[in-house]
Amino acid sequence: MPQADFTLLFDLDGTLANTDALHFRAFRALLAEHGRELDHDSYLLHVHGSSNEAIMRALLPHLPERHRELAERKEALFRATLGQVEATPGAPRLFDWAQFRGAAIAVVTNAPRANAELMLERLGLASLVDALVIGDELAYGKPHPLPYLAGLARLGGDAARACAFEDSPSGIRSAKQAGLHTFALAGTLPPAALFEAGADSAIPDFNAPELWRWLEHACERRPA
């Protein structure tokens, strides 16, 4: 793909769509099959924004030889309940703006490819995504910066003319370490936790005037 003038990089779960409740239920169902429980605080601590490898180590440490199988089981439970998801308010508007502006779009996620592709299809955004970066397909997932660096590289993007959208501390750290201005979607976590992780801004959704002012200013700046 030719180098884009501007690049937008999006996390998926909790950012482009609010799927936390579905993931929470899927993990509770999985753990119930093994006589365990999961409360919301533990979900935020061990699950939210983490890779499946890290999640399984935290939640089912006594079954290391089955972690991959159990992760696949959980994702199957999630996909079975996905239904028709709704995009975060303002997301279609932002994708339309990117298409009109000639900005490139990457989705950078720790979700498995099957989940990501299904979600983007259900959201009606799949055809507008220029690159889909799956953390588990790289040497390191979030919070390592590699996923966002890979997204920039695949699009020929420059961190100085790009921004990221995240909703979890691990994702924010990943994006910031890749040199990206990072907007945090304040939903599951309070803004204070997002700023503590390094977010530059906390917005309720993609209609936030703060975001559009920043985009207008950022796109006016030309590379030196």
162-196 residue pLDDT tens: 999 999 999 999 999 999 999 999 987 889 999 99
Contact 138, 51 (CB under 8 A): no
CATH numeric code, 6-17+86-220: 3.40.50.1000
Q: Is the pTM of this model over 0.85?
A: no
Nearest to 102 by CA among 217, 224, 8: 8
User: What local confidence, expressed as pLDDT, does residue 56 receive?
Assistant: 86
Q: Considering Cα of 133, then 137, then 140, then 142, what sign does the dihedral take?
A: positive
Q: Is 203 helix (H, G, I), strand (E, B) or coil?
A: strand
Neighbouring C-alpha atoms within 13 Å toward the C-beta of 224: 1
Per the structure block, which two tokens stand in for 86?
């709704």
Mean pLDDT of 150-168: 96
6-40 residue pLDDT tens: 999 999 998 999 888 887 888 888 888 888 888 88
CA angle 201, 204, 210 (to 5 degrees): 50
Give the C-alpha separation, 180 to 148, whole Å: 9
Residues tagged active-site: 11, 13
56-77 residue pLDDT tens: 888 888 888 889 888 888 888 8
Residue, of 191 and 42, whose pLDDT is higher: 191
